[in-house]
Structure 1
């Protein structure tokens, strides 16, 4: 692989989970990143461009983390396929192995397997500071000599060692470093006849790659029919024993790794002093106090959403109200002004006010992930998960569902057990995602008093936390039911490495908050703008006969009324126009089905429009109440308009019973087309999303009905 001027190469980043691979990817690529899918599978593919030197540019491929070259999950199989498939589009010209220096022995197993593939390799050692705290000193030159490949110490979080790493990449690309003359272990000797036969039919680089084709030939899609037949014949002819070969290989590798550890690693303290991480885990993973602390962390998370976001939310709400009133005064009274103020502006203001809460939620979740506490939540809840047919790995998708169900469902690929993965997919949308947050917030503000409990706890924050916990426990309850209906039988195990505790990277937290806010505004904004315009039209126009009748009824009354009565008549006129519009007719058509839940026809319209995306509910209500109000009310906030809303008999629409019913409906209903689409893609069938839609809708309706009847 001779690099030339302006050359470009493919570099794969591989390593064990929690080894620092993502941090190195970010350090090398910066903002030059994109996320897509690997061909033919739904596993995320992160790629980025990195300038290695003036003459060399690299396409960096961040492969899913794995502990060995024998895959157990969908994510690990993607890494395996990219590395073993010699004709693959993503097959690397060079491999950067990220290895955790504080767990070097375990990491060297994977390193040795990669080295034997005979693809140019550089080992980047991370966590050197943790290794030193453990009393472990690593002779980098000695380790490089023993392994026969370049070894570089890096700290990607602080951008240390990156320049030296790039220098080594450039040298390897120019063939200043050669692959080791001999294999780490003698792969050929393990099955000589089989390896020779496979190399005749498959153009692999090494004996070890041929051995892997022998072991996993049934799962390798890049082999054609003739190659698969030839491999199977060779395996049968020479009585290839896959289990024995794998066991022999691992034993030989660890025997040599033991020799390397003696030669290149010095443990100054054989007992290893107890790290701060271990001391913290004694408390945070305690059988009793661990759960108390977890509940406290969740409590502070949801209290903060109200405490920290109150002022910016009030400012945004007041700003849009003032802007709406100002535009009403300065713009001419025509249809274009009406669609701008009561359509677009009302819809956008309905969602923009919740940006501070979205940013705070994602920021705090990022802090939990960055510090290493999120992984502890999985560990703490594993026992609870197993009682309902899941395991600790199901917790991460469920927690991710608090942000968005779509990536959370994609995260279930790390669950090896098919039954547990399917159940996790089916219950994850019950977790309250960020799209539900605007609905919870506005309804809590309307029906829950703004007062403190015990003098310092926000009652509204407690209700918010209760809604999120309700989603979690309902997900567990449904999982417990589903485990009796899903008939897949596989062994389940939970192995997870707990990362060390670290201070959060505040720059990363800030970047995540801004990026998530941008995505939320752009994704929700596009849908809301389209729906707001459509809804404005449906709410402003109706069948000619009906609208003419309303106009004929109120025009003479308003013209002949005293000035004091004109405003009241104008409100009645606007309200009756809305009721006879196309939107009003649609809402009244479904009202009989939702009236037992305490919902009126306006809420019914929002239930329909928000199926595109839950957060559209607030934008829909903003548009409906703007179209249905008189010009004097344009500067009122949405909360004020909804608080003043009354039914035909004069009673308030948004009582405690209605508010609780509506929150429960959105807590459990499948009001998200994107989630249904991703479930179909992950399960490769429409059967599961249809089941999901039916059970969640029924659950939402029944719970809302019970809540409304109890509190009425």
Structure 2
């Protein structure tokens, strides 16, 4: 079955467009970039009828064809260029049935481009509950298009929509909405002749935003500019006049189509909930309580699966050493690869739990309220609410979050957001925090409900967020610009989370953690094992000779002596020499040379610290009475002081270092790409490393 039709999904944000895309395409989809632009391009395939297959493209959400960001500019670029690979045969314009007048502004603009269309009335079930009735047949008659009521979340009307799409090009009779010629008749007519089109609105849009249209040559761009100047074309005034005319037209179209019986009750529940959840005091209090529940759950719910995973990998290592032939290959497999894998898999439960909660908060509509509340804080430090989206996304990963900052129109706000987003604790820091907290904070409850380890984890996340806000305030004073920023956001209605989506998010994020972070950690684990298993010259031979007599004496504890041999060899290995070389610089922070090696490998990826410790302590041998890596780390003693390596002071110092340090090559690379130069990534690397070092230094010196 060949590809028969290309369909573009167009709509306002929060109309359920992406949900419809997932419903139509299922797993038959892929994500790339639009050519020459770093904006996500989501394409999927849907079987419309038994013999008809459609390519579905999910265009970025926009309130109007007039773009406010690089994402929104894509919509008209795709719709305007017939040679674009994504140019659709049919448009499905998705609207929220409970808010038709606002959503229909975009419909009226797109309809005037003359591309065959279907109007998908989404959330029709919710609008009915709110007392809103839409006369679908009358609306279709007035617009001249098929109007299909659907509920993408509940899979209602999807089959009818597919049938409508399959036959739209054959029966399209849609009407234009307003006559735009009067806004700039001479300029429009000249552009129509210039670009060879008979569509008035297309010509008007070319006048408005030709600079976004890369299919015009440089010469054509200059000629369009000349037409604008010759006719004194004033884009902003004409846009305003057009918008007013469209809303007047829509008022007559919808006057006897939409009957709202529940205006008074419509927002009663939502408003009452928002009056609490977005309150300037109670809103933040509830948000902190929710954060505490999340971080408490990360420890409380994951303890058993973590123990099972640790025991499982310990069992595999023990059995391997018993039954596999002794030698270098076995040691590499068990103490390098298996130890590194154990350091990855043991944190899957926490990763899954964290992203399950994030998915629930987003699905219910609560995350949008957090963004709204934080705008008040952001505005005081020189940012706006749009900065919160990348910063909250930073809880997952800084890389896509920094890319999301493209939607911030103000250059200063965008640069500050990019510079501070890596301070928000990402999921890569989570394994490090959990490992250190489990070593220095007792697992007990205070007042019967507050788990100390969960509380400590929440504090570390808040430290990152507070640091990001403070640094943003400083940069606001340093970076100067004349641009003014603004923040417009629509709060979605409250909904029950889609549990299928929650579980899918848990699976996807856990898989990404294992495969993406796993590649780096396994590679580092193998390199570390090699560096830890060999040393320069005859150092290892001398150590073997030193302990040969003691190992041959059956009256002595040979297991203990073998541990001493392994420890001394590790210190004289290549990795041990490197660690001892950097140790003077990190000793004031409370770190030994082993932690120093972890800091170095973490610059490839923060979570590599865990794999590094797993490999080093596996090669070291550890105490014969300990089995897991955490137990070996807890039992390790500083050879200089005779005290535990992971004391409370050292643990706090280490977590603060990881909270602030720029230890992620991918983040450096993405900042370089987004800022188009090395200036900002170098500044970011320097200031974050300095913050990390001095915060860790002060913490250790005060707490030791």
Report the TM range for the smaller structure's normalisation. Answer: over 0.9
**Correspondence 1:644 to 2:635:** yes
The residue that corresponds to 1:451 in the other structure is 444
1:67-216 alignment, distance < 5 Å: 67-173=63-169, 175-180=170-175, 183-204=176-197, 206-216=199-209
1:449-598 alignment, distance < 5 Å: 449-559=442-552, 561-598=553-590
Matching residue within 576, 586, 599 for 2:591: 599
Paired with 2:198 and 2:339, the residues of 1 have a C-alpha distance of 62
Task: Answer whether contact 1:143 1:264 (CA < 8 A) is retained.
Answer: yes
Matching residue within 411, 416, 429 for 1:436: 429
**Correspondence 1:376 to 2:372:** no
Superposition deviation, residue 204 in structure 1 = 4.6
Higher deviation after alignment, 131-140 or 393-402: 131-140
**Correspondence 1:411 to 2:411:** no
Superposition deviation, residue 631 in structure 1 = 9.7
CA shift digits 1:527-568 (9 cap, x unpaired): 111111111110001112222222222223322x34433222
Higher deviation after alignment, 471-480 or 314-323: 314-323
The residue that corresponds to 1:31 in the other structure is 27
The residue that corresponds to 1:257 in the other structure is 250
Q: Secondary structure at the match of 1:491?
A: coil
Paired with 1:603 and 1:270, the residues of 2 have a C-alpha distance of 62
Give unpaired runs (5+ residues) of structure 2.
Answer: none
Task: Answer whether contact 1:172 1:178 (CA < 8 A) is retained.
Answer: no
Superposition deviation, residue 108 in structure 1 = 0.7
Paired with 2:326 and 2:236, the residues of 1 have a C-alpha distance of 80
Q: Secondary structure at the match of 2:139?
A: helix
Task: Answer whether contact 2:64 2:105 (CA < 8 A) is retained.
Answer: yes
Gap change, CA 1:463 and 1:249, over 3 Å in 2: same
Paired with 1:270 and 1:314, the residues of 2 have a C-alpha distance of 54
Q: Secondary structure at the match of 1:513?
A: helix
1:604-623 alignment, distance < 5 Å: 604-623=596-615
CA shift digits 1:470-520 (9 cap, x unpaired): 000000000000111212221111111000000011111011101111111
The residue that corresponds to 1:332 in the other structure is 325
Task: Answer whether contact 1:590 1:601 (CA < 8 A) is retained.
Answer: yes
Superposition deviation, residue 286 in structure 1 = 2.0
Paired with 2:583 and 2:622, the residues of 1 have a C-alpha distance of 24
Paired with 1:647 and 1:436, the residues of 2 have a C-alpha distance of 25
CA shift digits 1:250-276 (9 cap, x unpaired): 121111101011131122356454442
Paired with 1:372 and 1:300, the residues of 2 have a C-alpha distance of 18
Paired with 1:85 and 1:367, the residues of 2 have a C-alpha distance of 39
Gap change, CA 1:7 and 1:346, over 3 Å in 2: closer
The residue that corresponds to 2:241 in the other structure is 248
Superposition deviation, residue 59 in structure 1 = 1.4
Paired with 1:501 and 1:161, the residues of 2 have a C-alpha distance of 22
Matching residue within 667, 682, 688 for 1:675: 667
Q: How many residues align?
A: 703
Paired with 1:237 and 1:503, the residues of 2 have a C-alpha distance of 56
The residue that corresponds to 2:36 in the other structure is 40
Paired with 1:347 and 1:243, the residues of 2 have a C-alpha distance of 59
**Correspondence 1:12 to 2:8:** yes
CA shift digits 1:278-324 (9 cap, x unpaired): 22112212232212111111111111111111111111111111221
Superposition deviation, residue 46 in structure 1 = 1.1
The residue that corresponds to 1:312 in the other structure is 305
Paired with 1:676 and 1:203, the residues of 2 have a C-alpha distance of 46
Task: Answer whether contact 1:328 1:631 (CA < 8 A) is retained.
Answer: no
1:286-297 alignment, distance < 5 Å: 286-297=279-290
**Correspondence 1:704 to 2:696:** yes
1:393-412 alignment, distance < 5 Å: 393-412=386-405
Gap change, CA 1:205 and 1:478, over 3 Å in 2: farther
Higher deviation after alignment, 617-626 or 450-459: 450-459
